[in-house]
Amino acid sequence: MGAPEVESARRAELLELLVEYSKTHGLSSMSLRPLAAAVGSSPRVLLYFFGSKDGLIREVHGRLRREQLELVARSAHSGRGPVESVRVLWKWLANPANADVERLFFECYARSLRDPTGPWARFGEAGVREWLPHIARLLHGGSASPTLVLAALRGLLLDLLATGDRDRVQRAFGELLLSIVDR
């Protein structure tokens, strides 16, 4: 097509646009022609840069996982105590401005359970495996289980997205924080 640095910049630009589009529209029912039109490209160009529709999906949800992993890593290395670190992480996760990102995460997670060999393969497993060490650091080796905290955060977030009952979910989050305080 063109010079490698131009192609690399165009690919990166397209990936950003694809991620933003996917946050609002999801990936499950995506087809290349309308997707390409939405990001100002063509199906041929998308296939050139991403190899296939499956490759494109893998790139988008890989980018999503990296974004969230960076967030949890920043929280874990913030220098705050465990309770405040979890509170800061929850504030971002539960922020209505990030609801599209969270919906896309759960869409990819659920698809990885149903389609373990396709483009969604191992998304859920990787999302757990990659987060647990950061959650453990966030908890500073306290008595709270990183697995339990991660599962609770995701369960609360899923509940919040499904019901919109922010007050009830926030009260439950407060109970989670109490369980993190070392006795």
Q: Convert the pLDDT of each residue in 40-98 to its tens digit.
A: 999 999 999 999 988 898 888 888 888 888 887 877 777 788 898 899 899 989 999 88
Query: Cα Rg for the chain, rounded, in angstroms?
Result: 18
Dihedral angle, C-alpha 14, 15, 21, 27, nearest 10 °: 130
Quote the DSSP letter at residue 117.
T
Residue 166 CA, chain-centre distance (Å), reads 20
pLDDT of residue 123: 86
DSSP per residue, 19-76: HHHHHHH-STT--HHHHHHHTT--HHHHHHHHSSHHHHHHHHHHHHHHHHHHHHHHHH
Cα dihedral sign, 125-68-159-29: negative
Domains and CATH numbers, the chain: 4-180 (1.10.357.10)
Calculate the alpha carbon distances from 153 to 38, 47, 82 in Å: 33, 36, 14
Q: Convert the pLDDT of each residue in 98-154 to its tens digit.
A: 898 888 889 889 988 988 788 888 888 998 999 999 899 888 878 899 999 999 999
Cα dihedral sign, 149-154-159-161: positive
Phi (first) and psi of residue 71, to 5 degrees? -60, -50
